[in-house]
Amino acid sequence: MSGGAPKGRSSAARGRRIAEKARGPRRESTRQPVADDPHADIGVEARLVAGILLNAALEKRTGLDEALSQSPARDLPPQDRAFARAVAMAALRRLGEIDQILERRLQKAPPLAVMTILRVALAQTLVLETPAFAAVSTAVKLAERDAKTRPYKNLVNAVLRGVGRDGPGLTTAESNLPDWLAQRWKATYGEAALIGLALATREEPATDLTAKPGVDPAELAASVEGEALPGGTVRTGKRGDVASWPGFEAGDWWVQDAAAAVPARLLAVKAGETALDLCAAPGGKTLQLAAAGAEVVALDRSETRLKRLRQNFERMKLKVEVVAVPAEDWEDDRTFDAVLLDAPCTATGTYRRNPEVLRATRPADVAKLADVQHRLLDVAAEKVKPGGRLVYCVCSLEREEGETQVIAFLRRNPAFRTVAAVPAEVGAPDEALTPEGWLRILPSQWAERGGLDGFFAAKLERIAD
């Protein structure tokens, strides 16, 4: 495949490492672990499940996780199930490129079941670097086992052997983005930025940790074989059950993408201040506020999602007042020194970790969620004390959910003004700063460090009476 990853980020090598690390006690992966030997034939059943997971993810955003919890995925041995997930995720990240390769070799599109077999096989050979003979063999076996795909087994064999013989040919990273999103992002950020955003689709992200105050990020980085990023986030390529990593049981850190840690830093709460996290679950930003010494109220409409927040606070030995109610229905007269609104959004900025969002998001979702964000911002404003601060953020790359929301909010609420962000103080890339003083973080930024999730964040202050 062409286009190349940024310097120091070879996708093929990364895919190979994913496969090689899966079983070993030192590098076992919780996200995409695979077989101990990437050259081993895991079996037809695991490939079948990989296809089921892939199609479930393409149907809806939560489809992959739901399919993992059901038969036949849940019936697989753990390492086979992990392998199936790894293949499905690889196919999702490179779906456009894989389809470009197939289009050149197919006179017309075969049934979806046949396309799935081909996609799964190419994800193995081109991303995870499974030897072609193993991928072709199991793909043909998959075609043979079903009456609907059996007539296409020779086609499957010919296409995959042809790719193995001739190579994949030219592909473009931009093809991994749905056309409507690519057009929007090109119009918003420019063609050069679009290429960077497209390249970021290829990469499996590292794991980022936020250290509890008092824990030295450099020492934490050394303990998890990682590095300290600007702002204090620790990034590690270490894989496996994070609960077994040094400092987990002691509550020294929690998992949180580097970009996701920025909004709470931007809010800059101090010990003894009151803080409200309006859409708190799963709680990473709430932890930051409480760890800084604030008296925190964590509000979320989902009791199920708040369960994880409570578990994290117990491990971190921190206290927080938890309220399970929609923000618009919360009847409480209190106001706060600091309010954080991480609003529900399309989450298009999280595609490095959740590539399914690129396929599951629809244009209509942007407008629908923008309306929700509009209402929540007005709710949040009522909870800010005079002289207090409000940080609005979304993990979306869509302007309607970020910049446009804040522009409209400031027009509606003249009692608020922007407080310009200083990227270096909050661990954001310098190029994320907008002319207005807000932060627009793109997944293509910090490419030399491995990128980060896409976020928009704006700090606003209520003018004192």
DSSP one-letter string for 366-408: HHHHHHHHHHHHHHHHHTEEEEEEEEEEES---GGGTHHHHHH
- Whether the per-residue pLDDT at 22 is higher than 80: the answer is no
Residue 281 confidence (pLDDT): 87
The pLDDT of 205-213, averaged and rounded, is 94
The pLDDT of 195-199, averaged and rounded, is 96
Q: Does domain 44-171 have CATH number 3.30.530.20?
A: no
The percentage of residues in the chain with a pLDDT greater than 90, rounded to a whole number, is: 84
Query: Would the annotation count 279 as a binding residue?
Result: yes
**Domains of the chain: which residue ranges?**
44-171, 208-462
CATH class of domain segment(s) 208-462 = alpha beta
Query: Would the annotation count 198 as a binding residue?
Result: no
Q: What is the tens place of the pLDDT at every residue in 99-108?
A: 999 999 999 9
Helix or strand run (H / E) with residue 208: strand 207-211
- Whether the per-residue pLDDT at 14 is higher than 90: the answer is no
Residue 200 sits at the vertex; the CA angle it makes with 197 and 202, to the nearest 5 degrees, is: 135
- Whether the per-residue pLDDT at 339 is higher than 60: the answer is yes
Q: Please give the positions annotated as active site.
A: 395
- Whether the per-residue pLDDT at 5 is higher than 70: the answer is no
Query: Would the annotation count 451 as a binding residue?
Result: no
Query: Would the annotation count 427 as a binding residue?
Result: no
SS3 call for 119: helix
Q: Which amino acid is at 83?
A: F
Confidence band of 1 (pLDDT split at 50, 70, 90) = low
- Whether the per-residue pLDDT at 412 is higher than 50: the answer is yes
Residue 216 confidence (pLDDT): 95
Average pLDDT, the chain: 90
240 touches 263 (CB < 8 A): no
Query: Would the annotation count 282 as a binding residue?
Result: yes
Question: What are the φ and ψ backbone dihedral angles of 293, each rounded to 5 degrees?
Answer: 100, 5
Query: Would the annotation count 280 as a binding residue?
Result: yes
SS3 call for 71: coil
The pLDDT of 47-76, averaged and rounded, is 94
Query: Would the annotation count 60 as a binding residue?
Result: no
Q: Which of 5-14, 47-56, 156-165 has the lowest mean pLDDT?
A: 5-14
Query: Would the annotation count 166 as a binding residue?
Result: no
- Tokens of residue 288, six digits: 């930051």
Confidence band of 29 (pLDDT split at 50, 70, 90) = very low
Residue 42 confidence (pLDDT): 52
The pLDDT of 104-117, averaged and rounded, is 95
- Whether the per-residue pLDDT at 43 is higher than 90: the answer is no
Query: Would the annotation count 252 as a binding residue?
Result: no
Confidence band of 6 (pLDDT split at 50, 70, 90) = very low
Helix or strand run (H / E) with residue 337: strand 336-342
Residue 93 confidence (pLDDT): 96
- Whether the per-residue pLDDT at 10 is higher than 80: the answer is no
